[in-house]
Each structure stands twice: as structure tokens, then as C-alpha cells.
């Protein structure tokens, strides 16, 4: 239920899977374990073989008071799929330090050791804290891997400038323990902050048929809505995604209902509306549909000169009229007077938040992986810098998190 109180974590003792890779900064991971254990975080350390050359597993075993895994073939219980159980236990996976090699493995989806297999199998947020020689860090291959990982939602704690193990001074030194801990704690806090919350997300375009072959549609790809559904799901919410036609796979941990038309979207959304606390309406719902839908393909020579359109229902405005305690979020994709239109929508549809963006701006809106949005509420306009759609999703979930008290 929505309330103006801060949230409390759902589980008293979150689990962090800490991946340690083979570089001299591996010893700094010991300090991370000590600090996190003091904050009552359960730590499961997984090490690459190379990491064990720098620090012995016994050190981590002692500091964490948990078994340490160093190989796919370690068998702490009896499981031959230990990487899967580790992956499932993780609320967050932190890899610190993360070598260029492990970054490359994560970017290409390799799973040939316990650490990379766990990272591939987990649905938890992954944080990496890279540490390497400056030339390796700056290499185009590493830059490309970094971009790939970021685009998939991996959080990167950037290395710092300083003296490196090789004696060079440059970029590549592992970020400070304080910085890594700050990012990790924030993510641990986010790992289950929306447990019990019912969320409806609409996403994608709607296709309004003229005949069995032709339709009226729009350029929405569904990327932003899917990212939002996934983010809420990852943080423990019960999410139903009602999606128009897209080429995206169903987001993990989310109930996805596929529809084609605005009327189908409305019917599906209304079915779940009673059970939700939050609605995030990202779908680019067609405002009009052809009045008549031909049963057979209309022959060119039989086509009418004019296409008669009728208005589609405004799904979100309908929800606004029957709002109750729900928190309603709309999107406003505009090309001119973005804020003015967003404010009008906020009031006209009885919304709590409108996420406004200028879809004519480069790198924003339809089809892009990034977005530049303004959060418009009755009190304030919050201008966000250009960021990935995943990050926009995270910011929206953070807004809800700040207003949520746990469901009974």
C-alpha cells in the first residue's frame, strides 16, 4: 500500500554474492567482507582460480563465516549446479575487483568457471568494480565490454586515478572501499524494497486493424515499459505487464499478457486493476481505430477514399477516474511544449506523476536505449540527465519505494 513513509527491507539479512577475480587488488575484497559482515550482510564469496593465487579462500571463509566456492566442481552440499543455487540466493552480486578478463566473459556470456556461471545465472543486480592497468582499462575492447554491461543494467563502480600495482600512475585502480560499499548498500536496500506491491505496467504500441493484413500502429518498441516491469519485478513487486506487439521477450519475474489493440489492452488492464497499488502506463495506445475492420483483405480497387476512425478509450484516464489509493504514473511523449502538455495530463487524468520526454531529441524516446525525462508532479518538475531506460526505470521504482510501506 502506498504511504508517505520510508520502507524497511523485507528480509533482515540480505545475501551478497561477492565475486573476487585474479588481480593484486583481490586483497582489498577482504576489507569489503569485514565491513559488510559488520552490517549484518550474509556474504557468499566465489573466487576465480587466479584470485586464489592472490588471497587464500581460507581468509574469506574466516571473514565471512560462510563456505567459499572456487570451482564449478566444488561441492559444499551435494549439488552439481552450485552456481545456480548461489545465483538464486543472491540479492545482489558484487564483483570486486573485476579484471578485464572477467568483464569480457560477462559481456560475452561465458560461463566456464564458478564466478562467470553464477553471474550468468543470477537475476540479481550485478555490480562490478573494475581494477586493471590503465592501458587495459582504456582499450577499445574493454570500453566496448563496459558499454555492453552497462546497457544490460550492470552497475559499474568506476576505477580511480592513482598509483597502480605495475608502478604506473593512471586510471585503473580499484575504487575506494567506501565508494564500493556505498553503491552495494544502496543496491542491497533496493533488492526487496517493493515486496508485496501490486504493479500494472502497460507497454508497447497498439495495432489497430483495418483488415487481416493492415493496421494503424506507432513507433513504440516497448523497451522503456519492459525495463520498468523488470525493475519492479526484481525488487519484489507482483507485476503484470500488459504489452502491445513488440519483439522483446517476456521480462523475467513478471506476468506478461500480450494484446494487439487498445480495446484488448483496456480489457486486460481492467482485469488486474482491482489488485494493484501502482499503475505505470507507458504504452503508446493508439488514440483512434478504424471504425470498420474488414473480414478479408481489402482489394486495392475496392479501397474506400477515406478511412473512418473512431476514438479509442483513454485507459489511463479511466483509471484516474477510479483512482482510490493507487499511485498512477503516465508518460508524455511530446515534440513541443513538453512540460505544458505533461502538466495538463497530470491534472486531466488525475495522475500522481507524469514522466515527460521530448521524443524529437536525439537519444530519447522510441527505439533508443537511452532516455532524457522530466518527472512532473503537482509539486515540482525534476529534470533528469540522459540515462539508460533501465536507469529511468530504477528512478521510477525509487520514487515508489520512498512512498511505500510494506504490505501487511
Give whichever of 48 and 281 is closer to ligand C5P, judged by the CB atom. Answer: 281
Give whichever of 51 and 356 is closer to ligand C5P, judged by the CB atom. Answer: 356
**Binding positions for ligand C5P, rule: CB under 6 A:** 202, 262, 281-283, 285, 287, 312, 314-316, 330-332, 345
For 72, 141, 160, the CA distances from 116, given in Å and listed in that order, are: 10, 18, 24
For 59, 264, 315, the CA distances from 322, given in Å and listed in that order, are: 58, 19, 11
Give whichever of 49 and 344 is closer to ligand C5P, judged by the CB atom. Answer: 344
For residue 274, count other CB atoms closer than 10 A to its CB. 9
Smallest gap, in angstroms, from Cβ of residue 265 to ligand C5P?
8
Q: Tell me the sheet residues that pair with 279.
A: 200, 328
Give whichever of 165 and 348 is closer to ligand C5P, judged by the CB atom. Answer: 348
Q: Are 316 and 346 within 8 A, CB to CB?
A: no
CA dist., res. 226 & res. 203, Å (int): 7
Give whichever of 213 and 321 is closer to ligand C5P, judged by the CB atom. Answer: 321
Smallest gap, in angstroms, from Cβ of residue 390 to ligand C5P?
19
Could you tell me the three cell numbers for 389?
Answer: 531506460
Q: Residues with catalytic annotation? A: 166
Smallest gap, in angstroms, from Cβ of residue 286 to ligand C5P?
7
Smallest gap, in angstroms, from Cβ of residue 360 to ligand C5P?
15
The dihedral sign for the CA sequence 111, 114, 116, 121: positive
Q: Are 123 and 252 within 8 A, CB to CB?
A: yes
Q: How far is CA 272 from the centre of its chain?
A: 22
Smallest gap, in angstroms, from Cβ of residue 238 to ligand C5P?
20
Could you tell me the three cell numbers for 236?
Answer: 519484489
Amino acid at each position: 500500500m502506498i504511504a508517505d513513509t520510508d520502507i524497511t527491507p523485507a528480509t533482515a539479512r540480505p545475501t551478497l554474492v561477492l565475486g573476487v577475480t585474479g588481480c593484486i587488488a583481490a586483497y582489498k575484497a577482504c576489507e569489503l567482507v569485514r565491513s559488510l559482515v559488520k552490517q549484518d550482510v550474509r556474504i557468499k564469496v566465489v573466487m576465480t582460480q587466479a584470485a586464489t593465487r592472490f588471497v587464500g579462500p581460507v581468509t574469506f571463509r574466516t571473514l565471512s563465516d560462510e563456505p567459499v566456492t572456487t570451482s564449478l566442481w566444488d561441492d559444499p552440499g551435494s549439488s552439481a549446479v552450485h552456481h545456480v543455487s548461489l545465483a538464486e540466493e543472491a540479492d545482489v552480486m558484487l564483483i570486486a575487483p573485476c579484471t578485464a578478463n572477467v568483464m569480457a566473459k560477462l559481456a560475452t556470456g561465458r560461463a566456464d568457471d564458478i564466478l562467470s556461471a553464477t553471474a550468468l545465472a543470477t537475476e540479481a543486480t550485478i555490480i562490478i568494480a573494475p581494477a586493471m592497468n590503465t592501458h587495459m582499462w582504456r582499450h577499445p575492447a574493454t570500453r566496448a565490454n563496459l558499454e555492453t554491461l552497462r546497457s544490460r543494467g550492470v552497475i559499474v563502480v568506476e576505477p580511480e586515478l592513482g598509483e597502480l600495482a605495475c608502478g604506473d600512475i593512471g586510471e585503473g585502480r580499484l575504487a575506494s572501499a567506501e565508494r564500493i560499499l556505498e553503491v552495494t548498500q544502496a543496491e542491497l536496500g533496493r533488492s526487496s524494497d517493493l515486496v508485496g506491491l501490486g504493479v500494472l505496467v502497460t507497454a508497447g504500441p497498439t495495432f489497430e486493424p483495418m483488415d487481416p493484413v493492415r493496421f494503424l500502429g506507432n513507433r513504440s518498441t516497448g523497451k522503456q515499459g519492459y525495463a520498468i516491469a523488470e525493475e519492479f519485478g526484481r525488487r519484489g513487486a507482483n507485476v503484470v505487464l500488459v504489452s502491445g506487439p513488440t519483439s522483446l521477450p517476456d521480462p523475467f519475474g513478471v506476468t506478461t499478457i500480450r494484446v494487439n489493440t487498445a480495446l484488448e489492452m483496456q480489457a486486460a488492464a481492467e482485469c488486474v486493476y482491482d489488485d494493484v497499488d501502482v499503475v505505470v502506463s507507458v504504452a503508446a495506445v493508439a488514440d483512434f481505430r478504424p471504425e470498420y475492420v474488414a473480414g478479408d483483405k481489402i482489394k486495392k480497387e475496392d479501397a474506400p477514399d477515406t478511412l473512418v476512425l473512431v476514438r479509442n478509450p483513454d485507459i489511463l484516464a479511466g483509471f484516474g477516474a477510479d483512482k482510490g489509493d493507487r499511485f498512477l504514473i503516465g508518460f508524455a511523449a511530446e515534440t513541443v511544449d513538453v512540460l505544458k502538455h505533461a502538466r495538463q495530463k497530470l491534472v486531466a487524468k488525475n495522475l500522481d506523476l507524469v514522466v515527460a520526454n521530448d521524443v524529437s531529441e536525439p537519444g530519447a524516446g522510441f527505439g533508443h536505449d537511452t532516455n532524457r525525462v522530466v518527472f512532473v508532479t503537482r509539486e515540482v518538475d525534476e529534470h533528469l540527465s540522459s540515462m539508460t531506460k533501465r536507469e529511468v526505470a530504477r528512478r521510477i521504482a525509487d520514487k515508489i519505494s520512498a512512498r511505500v510501506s510494506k504490505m501487511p
